[in-house]
Structure 1
Amino acid sequence: MKLTYFRNTPANFGDEINAFMWHNLVPPGFLDEDETELFLGIGSILWDHLPKSPIKHVMGSGFGGYTAPPDVHDGSWNVVWLRGPITAEKLGLDPSLAICDSAILLRATTLPPPLGGGRTVFMPHFESAARGSWQKVCALAGIDYLDPRGDCVELLSKIRGARLMITEAMHGAIVADALRVPWIPILPFFPQHRAKWEDWARSLAVTLSPATLPPSNLLETYTLFTGLPGKGQRSRAMFRSWPAAPVNKALVYRAALSLRRLAEKGAPQLSGDAEIDRATERSVEALDRFVRSRTAAPAAAGRKER
């Protein structure tokens, strides 16, 4: 059974949690390279272009609207649980399957020690990290920059050690919430990344109050006002050419002021303790039932005591 998730170059934090987490939660050898069965983990990966023939076991995955909804009633899907109620609705499935994003199982995993000494951290979406100038913005604002393309274990340590998480990356908020670090959601610059936040938030009875940040350079300004990703090399070169430098510098300064103001006066969010405990317990139970059905043994390998 092959662990399946979105793989990006460079890596993306939310997706790379899969490689860190699942092998600590299931018995050794449970996951392998056998592609006749797919273990769908963390991420908006319920796509309509997944291969038809393998059995697809859904473990807290979500539908993000990046493709048409897949036909999960064609006999090749085993939905163990889903990220949230919007995913269940879009796929025509029982809303009781909507437990939470499976990254919540970090709460049942042995984690790396905290780093950072209680500072405020900021994580952009991995596409914004590539397009924007957020490292410069954070340096000016006096806030620790978390690059979502960095090492997953180090990022987990820094989130654990943070006082406050400001994040455009949805899994920055999901992980912070799971680890009980208050977080402030930032409305993603690229509109297509916005709907999936509500799916996760509803699973934990969280009413999202996203803040906005101004773009950090001209390329992000283009993305914000056109709704286009601006991935082409020609557009990148134009927006980062020397004639654009003064404008880009001013945009970095404006974004830093906004980020600093948000860190000082923004309203952090956190799901309720009862909600997170209930969703964690249900996710653990769902995973255990699935593993027992395949191995006749509980999924206890590497799991910390709760």
Structure 2
Amino acid sequence: MKLVFFRGKVPNFGDELNLHVWPALLPKGFLDDDASELFVGIGSIIGDHLDPAARKFVMGSGYAGYMGLPDVHDGSWDIRFVRGPNTARTLGIDPGLSICDSAVLLRAMDLPERDESVGIAFMPHYETLERGDWAQACRLAGMTLIDATDPVEKVLSQIQGARLLITEAMHGAIVADALRTPWIGARPIYGGHHKKWFDWSGALDLDVRLNPLKPSSVLEYYISRTGRGGALGKVGRFSASPLAALPNRILTQIAAQHLQAMARLEPQLSDDPKIVEVTERARDAVDAFVASRRAVA
């Protein structure tokens, strides 16, 4: 059974969690390279891009509209649980299968030592890192930048150690919530990433608040105004040119001031009993799946 998850040009924390969580929780040798059976794990990876001939086992994944909507009733899907009620409703499956994003299973694992030096941190979406100057914005704001493309162990250590996490990356919020680090949601500058937050938070009965970010570059300003998130041609080239140095610097300063203001907002956490409940339900679903596979082996 082959583990499948999204991999782009750079590693992304939420997706790379698959390589941290599943080898730790599944029996040794459970996952292999047999693509006739697919283990569909953490991320918004439910879609019609997956091999229609393969048997697909879904363990806490979500549907966010990045790919076409699959027919999960065609006999090739075995859905053990999904990220949230929006995914369940969109797929037309039992609402009871809406448990939580499977990254919550970090609560059932040994974790790296927390980094106590972090203080207040900001974690942008990995795409945002290359579109703006958030490293400088964080320096100006007196915050730690958590880079979603860094190794998973480092990011986990930083999230655990943070006094407060402001996060545009959804899995920053998911992991912070699971590990009980207070967090403040930042509405992704690119609008295509918004609705999946409400899928996850719906599973936790959490009224998530997404607060707007200020763009830190001309390119991000353009994206925020137009909603475009793909190839950005002339605007991207201009934003990286010497001509844009001054407006970029001004925008970065404004973004830093806005981060400082965001840090004074009321942070969020799901209820303690609810996070315990969904962790237990997710763990039970994984254990039941492993037992079912052993029974037919």
Q: Give the C-alpha shift of residue 132 in structure 1.
A: 1.2
Q: For residues 113 and 231 of structure 1, what CA distance do their matches in structure 2 show?
A: 39
Distance change >3 Å, CA 75–CA 172, structure 1 → 2: same
> In structure 1, how many angstroms separate the alpha carbons of the residues matched to 2:99 and 2:223?
33
- For 1:231 and 1:249, the matched residues in 2 are separated by 23
User: Match for residue 213 of structure 1?
Assistant: 213
- Work out the percentage of aligned pairs sharing the same amino acid: 49
Find the aligned partners of 2:234 and 2:210 in 1 and give their Cα distance.
32
Higher RCO, 1 vs 2 (CA within 8 Å, ≥6 residues apart):
1
Larger mean CA deviation between 197-206 and 223-232 belongs to 223-232
Pair 1:2 & 2:5 matched: no
Cα displacement (A) at 1:47? 1.0
User: Shift of the alpha carbon at 1:233?
Assistant: 5.2
* Conservation of the 8 A alpha-carbon contact between 1:137 and 1:256: yes
- Worse-superposed segment, 120-129 or 236-245: 236-245
TM-fit CA distance, 1:209: 1.2
The whole-number CA distance in structure 2 between the counterparts of 1:292 and 1:111 is: 25
1:135 aligned residue: 135
Q: Where in structure 2 are the equivalents of 1:81-100 lying within 5 Å?
A: 81-100=81-100
Which stretches of structure 1, 4 residues or longer, exceed 6 Å deviation after superposition?
A: none
Q: 1: CA distance between counterparts of 2:118 and 2:214?
A: 26
Higher mean alpha-carbon deviation, 229-238 vs 193-202, is at 229-238
Query: In the alignment, what sits opposite 2:267?
Result: 268
Equivalence for 1:148: 148
Output the CA distance in 2 between the equivalents of 1:230 and 1:61.
24
Q: Which whole-Å CA distance do the structure 1 matches of 2:39 and 2:239 have between them?
A: 41
Residues 210-289 of structure 1 mapped to structure 2, 5 A cutoff: 210-232=210-232, 234-263=234-263, 265-289=264-288
CA deviations on 1:46-101 (whole Å, 9 max, x unpaired) are: 11121100100000000001123210001100000000000000000000000000
Specify the SS of the correspondent of 1:121. strand
Rounded to whole Å, the distance in 2 between the matches of 1:286 and 1:19 is: 19
Determine the C-alpha separation between the residues in 2 that align with 1:163 and 1:262.
14
Matched, 1:116 2:80: no
CA distances 1:150-188 after superposition (whole Å, capped 9, x unpaired): 111100011011111100000000000000001000001
Take 1:254 and 1:283, find their aligned partners in 2: how far apart are those partners?
A: 41
Matched, 1:179 2:179: yes
Contact 2:104 2:178 in 1 (8 A): yes
Q: Which residue of 1 aligns with 2:292?
A: 293
Asked if structure 2 preserves the Cα contact closer than 8 Å seen for 1:84 and 1:101, the reply is yes
Letter in 2 for 1:286: A
Are residues 62 and 230 of structure 1, via their aligned partners in 2, closer, same or farther at CA, if it must alter by over 3 Å? closer
The answer (yes or no) to whether the contact 1:82–1:101 under 8 Å persists in 2 is yes
Contact conserved, 2:118 with 2:144, CA < 8 A, in 1? no
Aligned residue-pair number: 296
For residues 90-140 of structure 1, give each alpha carbon's deviation from its aligned partner in whole angstroms, at most 9, with x where no partner exists. 000000000000000000111111013351111001111111111110010
- Give the stretch that moved more between structures: 239-248 or 55-64: 239-248
Q: Structure 2: which 5+ residue stretches go unaligned?
A: none
Question: How far 1:296 moved relative to its partner?
Answer: 4.9
Tell me the amino acid that sits aligned with residue 184 of structure 1. Answer: I
Partner Cα distance (2:181, 2:172) in 1? 10
Q: Secondary structure at the match of 1:219?
A: helix
Partner secondary structure for residue 211 of structure 1 = strand
2:167 maps to what in 1? 167
TM-score normalised by length of structure 2:
0.97
CA distance in 1, matches of 2:9, 2:154: 18
Query: Whole-Å Cα distance in 2 between the matches of residues 132 and 70 of structure 1?
Result: 35
